[in-house]
Amino acid sequence: MSATELPAVQSRSRFNRNLRGAWLDAEMAVVGWRIWTTLAWNDITQRYRRSMLGPFWLTLSTAIFVGALGFLYAGLMHMEIRNYLPFVAVGYVVWGLASSFLGDAGQCFPSAEGYLRQVNISKIGIVLRMVARNFIIFLHNAAVIVVVMLIFRVVPGRHCWLIIPALVLNLWFGVAISLPLGMICTRFRDLNQMIASLISVLFFVTPVFWNPATASKALAAVSRINPFSAFIATFRDPLLGYPIHAHDWIVALACSIVMTIFAIMFFVRFRSRIMYWI
Amino acid sequence: MPLLQLDRVHVDFPLYTARGRSLKNRVLALLGSKVKKKIEEHNQITTVHSLRDISLTLRDGDRLGLVGRNGAGKSTLLRVMSGIYEPVLGEIEIDGSLASITDMSMGMDMEATGYENIVLRGVFLGQTHAAARAKIPEIAEWTELGDALARPVRTYSTGMQIRLAFAVSTTIRPDILILDEMIGAGDAHFIEKARARMNDLVSATSILVLASHSEAVLRQFCNRAVLMHEGEVILNGSVEEVLTAYKELP
Instruction: List, as ranges, residues 11-40 from A with C-beta within 8 Å of B.
Output: 21, 31-32, 34-35, 38
- pLDDT tens digits, residue range B137-164? 988 988 888 888 888 888 988 788 888 8
Name the residue of chain B whose CA is nearest to A275's CA. Answer: B85
Contacts of A35 in chain B (CB under 8 A): 123-124
Residues of A in contact with B23 (CB under 8 A): 184, 188, 190-191, 194
Residue B98's closest CA among B125, B63, B76?
B125
Q: Is the pLDDT of residue B222 over 60?
A: yes
pLDDT at A5 over 50: no
Say whether B111 and A114 touch across the interface (CB within 8 A).
no
What pLDDT, on the 0 to 100 scale, is given for residue A2? 39
Per residue in A64-107, pLDDT (tens digit) is 999 998 889 888 888 888 889 999 999 999 999 999 999 999 99
Least confident residue range of A58-62, A246-250, B19-23, B233-237? B19-23
Is A101:A134 a contact under the CB 8 Å cutoff? yes
A44–chain B Cβ distance below 8 A for any pair: no
**Listed residue (B192, B201, B191) closest to B168, CA to CA:** B201
The answer to whether residue B47 neighbours chain A at the CB level (below 8 Å) is yes
The pLDDT score that the predictor gives to residue B26 is 74
Over range B129-134, report the average pLDDT. 89
Query: What is d(CA A174, CA A136) in angstroms, rounded to the nearest whole number?
Result: 14
ipTM over 0.90: no
Residue B47: list chain A partners with CB under 8 A.
2
B93 and A CB contact within 8 Å: no
Nearest by Cα to A22 from A276, A259, A273: A273
Summary mean pLDDT of chain A: 89
B182-204 as b/e, with b when 16 or more CB fall inside 10 Å?
A: bbeebeeebeebbeebbeebbee
3-state class (DSSP) for residue A13: helix
For residue B43, pLDDT over 60 is answered with: no
pLDDT in tens, B52-110: 999 999 999 999 999 998 888 888 899 999 888 988 888 888 888 888 887 766 567 78
Q: Could you tell me how many helices (H) and strands (E) chain B has, helices first?
A: 10, 9
Pick from A208, A58, A66: nearest CA to A136: A58
**What's the pLDDT score for residue A12?**
67
pLDDT exceeds cutoff 80 at B39? no
pLDDT value at A278 more than 60:
yes
pLDDT for A87: 93
| Position with higher pLDDT, B191 vs A12 | B191
pLDDT over 90 (residue B226): yes
User: Per-residue pLDDT tens for A105-158?
Assistant: 999 999 888 888 888 889 999 999 999 999 999 999 999 999 999 999 989 988
- Beta-carbon contacts of residue B134 (< 8 Å; ≥ 6 apart): none
CB contact under 8 A, B83 and A187: no
Selecting from A115, A119, A190 the residue whose C-beta is nearest the C-beta of B100 gives: A119
Lowest mean pLDDT among A148-157, A212-221, A233-242, B38-47: B38-47
- Check B107 against A1: CB less than 8 A apart: no
User: Region A241-262: what's the mean pLDDT?
Assistant: 93
pLDDT at A1: 36
For residue B81, the tally of other CB atoms under 10 A from its CB is 25
The answer, yes or no, to whether residue A191 has pLDDT greater than 70, is: yes
DSSP string, B170-230: TT---SEEEEES----S-HHHHHHHHHHHHHHHHH-SEEEEE-S-HHHHHHH-SEEEEEET
Q: Which residues of B touch A16 (CB under 8 A)?
A: none
pLDDT at B36: 56
